[in-house]
Amino acid sequence: MNNEELKTKIAELLPAATFDETGEWLNINVEPADWLSFAGKLRNDDSLFFDYLFCLTCIDWKTHLSMVYHLSSTKYRHNIVIKSKLDVARPEIESVSHIWKTAEFHEREVYEMFGVNFLNHPDLRLLILPDGWEGKNPMRKDFEDPINMIKL
């Protein structure tokens, strides 16, 4: 499916979604509350079949956090990008690790680097940071480490 077809199809599935077509792929903005049910539909709908989550990350926009999911279908070879704004003070979103298993590791990475709390994640522990890490999340823009970070 091309971007236009995807857009109509997704508008049917989730009327609340807003679109952004400036990039290479169709960007879909969803509310965190809608995300889990929407993700299930994206994965299981026969005409969409987004079975391959190839990138999961987060962007710190200072005013808010933005979760970014890059999805692809190994059957139809179409790609979409899902974005979801999170509150910077209490970032929370449903985990999709039972839909795409790769999300388990990627969500753990985002959890420790950005402090996003993934609800119903099977094993939300520190993956990269050392055990007992205290303090801010390193990938946030306001993170300061006077010893290890060199300002250029």
104 makes contact with other proteins (CB under 8 A): yes
121 makes contact with other proteins (CB under 8 A): no
94 makes contact with other proteins (CB under 8 A): no
With beta carbons less than 8 A apart as the criterion, state whether 16 and 8 touch: no
**What is the C-alpha to C-alpha distance for residues 47 and 43, in angstroms, rounded to an integer?**
10
Nearer to other proteins, 34 or 49 (CB): 49
**What is the C-alpha to C-alpha distance for residues 114 and 83, in angstroms, rounded to an integer?**
15
Smallest gap, in angstroms, from Cβ of residue 138 to other proteins? 6
Binding residues for other proteins restricted to 30-49, rule: CB under 8 A: none
Nearer to other proteins, 19 or 52 (CB): 52
Instruction: Find the binder of other proteins among 2, 8, 23, 90 (CB under 8 A).
Output: 23
Burial degree of 8 (CB within 10 A; 0-12, 13-18, 19+): exposed
Q: Which two tokens stand for residue 65?
A: 């956090």
Distance from first CA to last CA of the chain, Å, rounded? 45
Residues that bind other proteins (CB under 8 A): 22-25, 51-55, 57, 59-60, 68, 70, 74, 77, 81, 100-102, 104-106, 109, 127-130, 138-139, 143, 151-152
